[in-house]
Amino acid sequence: MAGRPRDPDLEQRLLTTAWSLLTAHGYDALTLTQVAAQAGAHRTDVYRRWPSKVRLVADVLEQFLPPVPDFDTGTLLADLRAFATDLAVAWDQPWNDGLVGFLSDLRRDDEAERTFRGLVSRRSQPLVDAIARAVRRGEIGEVPDLALVGNLLEGPLMHRRMFGGQPMTPDELDVVARSVHRLLTATRVTP
């Protein structure tokens, strides 16, 4: 006796629904039961694929977060500013309001954390490429600690969003990009 045939589009429908709910209501409000109901599926359909909310959201982010464009403006400063602008747009999305909860849950799920770290690595590639171009052009003499450079660019954006609830202004993004540029080019950083 054969069971009901599998819906080949179900997983994509669940992911799309989860993305819609995540962007509309944030991580904290998202539930697997809600995803199932909105997608016209059973809770078991969701739980069979994702045993936890954090695992589902890691897969959702992997699929739906747009890639960071690889800006090649011809100068390190302009590349840093373009990268910072793209990060600012990403940090200004409503789903980021629940990021603290997501990151906390992520620490308890190795598979979800691996998925998320892979996503972060791929999204950082344009910065890696910009640094490599700057070295080739002679703007900087050596490859810096790329994780630190990324943290210096993204840290202020993350802090402003998570603790201030506000996006950074274009002038503030200029200050961040210029500060990182000055550090990389070994010039003194002044306010």
Judged by average pLDDT, the poorest of 39-48, 51-60, 85-94 is 85-94
Q: Are residues 27 and 83 in the same domain?
A: no
CB 27 within 8 A of CB 102: yes
Q: Are residues 129 and 71 in the same domain?
A: yes
The residue that leads in pLDDT, 99 or 72, is 72
> pTM score, two decimals?
0.80
* Residue 124 is assigned to a structural domain of this protein: yes
* Residue 141 is assigned to a structural domain of this protein: yes
Q: Are residues 86 and 166 in the same domain?
A: yes
Q: Are residues 58 and 71 in the same domain?
A: no
Neighbours of 84 (CB within 10 A): 25
Q: Are residues 83 and 24 in the same domain?
A: no
Would you state the pLDDT for residue 3?
52
Query: Which CATH number fits the domain that encloses residue 151?
Result: 1.10.357.10
Residue 189 has pLDDT above 70, yes or no: no
Would you state the pLDDT for residue 170?
94
Would you state the pLDDT for residue 93?
81
Give the amino acid at 16: T
Burial of 172 (0-12, 13-18, 19+ CB in 10 A): middle
Would you state the pLDDT for residue 95?
75
Q: Are residues 22 and 108 in the same domain?
A: no
Q: Are residues 53 and 96 in the same domain?
A: no
Would you state the pLDDT for residue 164?
81
Domain stops at, among 37, 62, 87: 62
Q: To the nearest whole number, what is the mean pLDDT of the chain?
A: 88
Overall average pLDDT of the 7-14 stretch: 89
Pair of tokens at residue 188: 């003194």
Q: Are residues 53 and 115 in the same domain?
A: no
Neighbours of 185 (CB within 10 A): 13
Q: How many domains does the chain have?
A: 2
Q: Are residues 31 and 87 in the same domain?
A: no
Among 189, 180, 190, 191, which residue's Cα sits nearest to residue 79? 180
Residue 34 lies in domain: 10-62
Overall average pLDDT of the 22-39 stretch: 93
Q: Are residues 53 and 124 in the same domain?
A: no
**Which residue in the block uniquely carries the two structure tokens 């819609």?**
20
Q: Are residues 79 and 160 in the same domain?
A: yes
Contacts of 3 (CB under 8 A, 6+ apart): none
Overall average pLDDT of the 120-125 stretch: 89
The residue that leads in pLDDT, 189 or 73, is 73
Q: Are residues 70 and 149 in the same domain?
A: yes
* Residue 5 is assigned to a structural domain of this protein: no
Among 50, 152, 28, which residue's Cα sits nearest to residue 100? 28
How far apart CA 119 and CA 175 sit, in angstroms, is 27
Pair of tokens at residue 89: 């747009």
For 161-186, the pLDDT digits (tens) are 888 878 889 999 999 999 999 989 87
Overall average pLDDT of the 120-130 stretch: 90
